[in-house]
Amino acid sequence: MALLPDLRSGPLLDVEEFQIDSDSENGDADVPTPCATPTGEEGEAAAEPRRGLLGRIAFLEAEAEKLIEHSRGCRGHADEMQSLLARLHDQKAALQRLLGAGDAGPELDSWEEPCDLTEHTARAYLQWLRRLLHDLSQAVDQAASGAVLASASAAGATAPRLSGRRRRDAPSRIFPNLEALDIAAVDNGSGDVFHQPGEAGDLRDSPGEGGTGWEPLPRQALYCVVGDARRVTVVGLGGQLLARTRLRGGGCDEQEAEAGSNLERINYLRCSGRLLLSDNQSLYICDRCCRVLRCLHGFSWVVGHCVDEPADRLYIVDRVNEFLSVYGLARLGELDRLAHRDFTDGISSVTALARTLFVADRGANAIFAFETESLQLAFRVPLRSPLFITSDWRGGCLYVTVGGRDNTVRMLDGQGQLRRSLSGGRGSQPGQFGSPGGLTVSLDGTELFVCDLDNRRVQVFGLGG
């Protein structure tokens, strides 16, 4: 695939090459030719869609620049990406000249008057930007995974092309017939949680009278939430079913624990050995038998949570209200709240790593990184459709499930640089995903377990090498 179809040859902006057809975003079968600008109420009405067009242009330009800047650090391609960035700036200048703005004219996102806009030219430029953004997104992924940008021939007019193939790690094994939306690796090294082998029943913290038929859980087990019920499924590292249990009251009101909505998120707290589970409106701190010890209510839609145990901080993201709440873990009192201006209703998950808080937002096509102490934005990672995110403190890296066209898993370092991609693509073959969900790293850091909800399975990837 050509990386940039027309950046290195031909005119800077050839409007005739980009005729808008009936399949364009706004469904314009024929773009009107420029005419006299309407005045009065009619002129104000005509200006609105054009201003919206300028807004989309400005947004796509900003995203393209971010992708180019991000990819400049990919394995020595700084010169190549600097050249692409310069060409993008040339394209913007060419559009302004074509529209009569002149070299000293205002930036696109500051234009107000419809008379400054030749709609046909602007729509052509918008379509070119969409193609640029799509190709850049693929280029960033492939370059960061080890692909090499082929150098353009000095005499030729061909665009640079990507050579090499993206590394795709196949799963080491698959757990079929395991429906899970989110998953957590849990340590049972103390041997104080028991199950009945072959029964797939409840969990308890003692073998009961006589201890007949009850055995301790394996040292490491996987706890899964389904997303359409209040049950928790427990399996071994080989995928064998160990138990099916439900969220039960205890320190929290029994009826509240039983009557809440579907469980959608789960985390394991290593220091305390507790579970953190949530439905849409409540968050529960539980023991490993899924008995509720403490709870928080009153959220609109909890879509993610994580804990920084050394700092005694609990972080909760609310999709409807588009904010992140910070709680003191000891007393469960709210300490702070962050409503970043770039958050959208696509906010989807959160994790903490090395004093940095990472918030995935599929609506913004980005992961936001905040300092845990100040909650100031440290940096932003462009990433298309991030869904679930988890961290591995041993390796100092992040793992993110990505939806949309990719349906894959990305490995990022603590600075947001792409390090690895694990299989991917839509489908039901090994390594493909019907709908990627939650994910967790094994306690020893050697394996990654990824939920594949639509295919009713969990795929396991080795992290060695």
Tokens in use for 330?
């000891």
Which residues, in sequence order, are CB contacts of 290 under 8 Å at separation 6+? 203, 232, 245, 246, 247, 248, 275, 277
Which whole number is the average pLDDT over 222-240?
A: 90
Which whole number is the average pLDDT over 388-392?
A: 94
Query: Percent of the chain, pLDDT > 70?
Result: 60
Query: How far is Cα 50 from Cα 276, in angstroms, rounded to an integer?
Result: 48
Query: How far is Cα 81 from Cα 99, in angstroms, rounded to an integer?
Result: 27
- Give the chain's mean pLDDT: 73
User: What pLDDT score does 185 carry?
Assistant: 97
Angle between helix axes 40-71 and 78-98 (nearest 10 degrees) is: 170
Residue identified by tokens 């599929």 is: 362
Which whole number is the average pLDDT over 333-360?
A: 85
Which residues, in sequence order, are CB contacts of 222 under 8 Å at separation 6+? 183, 184, 185, 186, 234, 235, 236, 237, 440, 449, 458
- Residue 409 reports pLDDT greater than 90: yes
Count of residues for the chain?
Answer: 465
User: What pLDDT score does 117 carry?
Assistant: 43
Query: How far is Cα 8 from Cα 403, in angstroms, rounded to an integer?
Result: 32
Task: Give the pLDDT band (50/70/90) at residue 106.
Answer: very low
Which whole number is the average pLDDT over 230-241?
A: 93
In our burial notation (b when 16+ CB lie closer than 10 A, e otherwise), range 142-160 reads bbbbebebeebeeeeeebb
Helix (H, G, I), strand (E, B) or coil at 206: coil
User: What pLDDT score does 396 carry?
Assistant: 87
Task: Give the pLDDT band (50/70/90) at residue 240.
Answer: very high
Least confident of 121-135, 213-227, 242-256, 271-285: 121-135
DSSP of 227-243, one letter per residue? Answer: SSSSEEEEE-TT--EEE
pLDDT digits (tens, 9 = 90+) for 430-440: 999 999 999 99
Q: Which residue has the higher pLDDT, 41 or 313?
A: 313
Task: Give the pLDDT band (50/70/90) at residue 258.
Answer: low
pLDDT digits (tens, 9 = 90+) for 145-174: 443 333 322 322 222 332 334 456 789 999
Phi then psi for 377, rounded to 5 degrees?
Answer: -65, 120
**Single-letter amino acid code for the residue at 397:** C
Which whole number is the average pLDDT over 189-194?
A: 87
User: What pLDDT score does 422 carry?
Assistant: 86
Contact 87, 156 (CB under 8 A): no
Q: Please count the CA atoms within 13 angstroms of the CA of 393 that sit on its side-chain side.
A: 14
User: What pLDDT score does 389 carry?
Assistant: 96
Q: How far, CA to CA in Å, does 339 sit from each of 279, 318, 320, 321, 364?
A: 21, 10, 11, 8, 14
In words, the CATH class of domain 173-462 is mainly beta
User: What pLDDT score does 340 carry?
Assistant: 80
Helix (H, G, I), strand (E, B) or coil at 138: helix
Q: Which residue has the higher pLDDT, 93 or 276?
A: 276
The ranges assigned to domains in the chain are 15-163, 173-462
Contact 173, 450 (CB under 8 A): no
Task: State which of 27-41, 84-98, 381-395 shows the largest mean pLDDT.
Answer: 381-395
Which whole number is the average pLDDT over 96-107?
A: 47
Query: How far is Cα 64 from Cα 137, in angstroms, rounded to an integer?
Result: 9
pLDDT digits (tens, 9 = 90+) for 48-95: 444 555 666 666 677 666 666 655 555 445 555 666 666 667 666 666
For residue 462, count CB atoms less than 10 angstroms from its CB and return exposed for 0-12, middle for 13-18, buried for 19 or more: middle
Q: Which residue has the higher pLDDT, 417 or 119?
A: 417
- Residue 11 reports pLDDT greater than 70: no
Task: Give the pLDDT band (50/70/90) at residue 180.
Answer: very high
Q: Which residue has the higher pLDDT, 18 or 348?
A: 348
Query: How far is Cα 210 from Cα 202, in angstroms, rounded to an integer?
Result: 17
- Helix or strand holding residue 79 (H, E): helix 78-98
User: What pLDDT score does 161 carry?
Assistant: 32
Query: How far is Cα 401 from Cα 387, in angstroms, rounded to an integer?
Result: 5
Task: Give the pLDDT band (50/70/90) at residue 197.
Answer: confident
Contact 84, 143 (CB under 8 A): no
Q: Angle at CA 426, nearest 5°, toward 223 and 280?
A: 40
pTM: 0.65
User: What pLDDT score does 338 carry?
Assistant: 75
